[in-house]
Homo-oligomer: A and B are copies of this chain.
């Protein structure tokens, strides 16, 4: 099983829309979900995590919805990944050194007080991996996506969300 899955993929796609369209009416989870063809409940769960991590804020009312809580250049992909996946470690160390038959169930402190070198190596690898994600901002990722996404798709996306915003019922609470 991969370390990062659907929640990162959907979450980042949602945030890329917010990054690209900061001047638009903030979309609701329902809008973002329908655009991507997934469940609004699922998107709402993602946004609860993103809001808790201080990456997005919600506004209520007819023109309400979600927007980034910080400038897109100040939010790293790593922050998004950690918010959605809860900082999953690359390697789960069970400290099996302590189970060695030599210790008869009572490993001495000097064995378990140092970091296992296998674990240390995995932490080094994880640090490099996280460094790549920490060095990329949402702004940079958005620009990178812009290089491959046709301009007409960008415009069609914006038009679709704008049209959705127009259909909102005045009494509806958005942002959830």
A31-55 contacts to B, CB under 8 A, are 34-38
Minimum C-beta distance from A142 to chain B (A): 9
Which of these, B10, B120, B129, B131, contacts A96 with CB under 8 Å?
Answer: B10
Which of these, B6, B35, B120, B129, contacts A94 with CB under 8 Å?
Answer: B6
Given A4-B92, A5-B92, A110-B150, decide whether A99 and B156 contact each other with a Cβ distance below 8 A. Answer: no
Q: How far is the CA of A129 from the CA of B124 in the complex (A)?
A: 8
Minimum C-beta distance from A70 to chain B (A): 19
B125, A90: Cβ atoms under 8 Å? Answer: no
Chain B residue, CB-CB nearest to A98: B37
Given A4-B91, A9-B91, 9 more A-B residue pairs with CB atoms under 8 Å apart are A5-B91, A6-B94, A9-B94, A36-B96, A37-B100, A101-B160, A102-B153, A117-B141, A129-B129
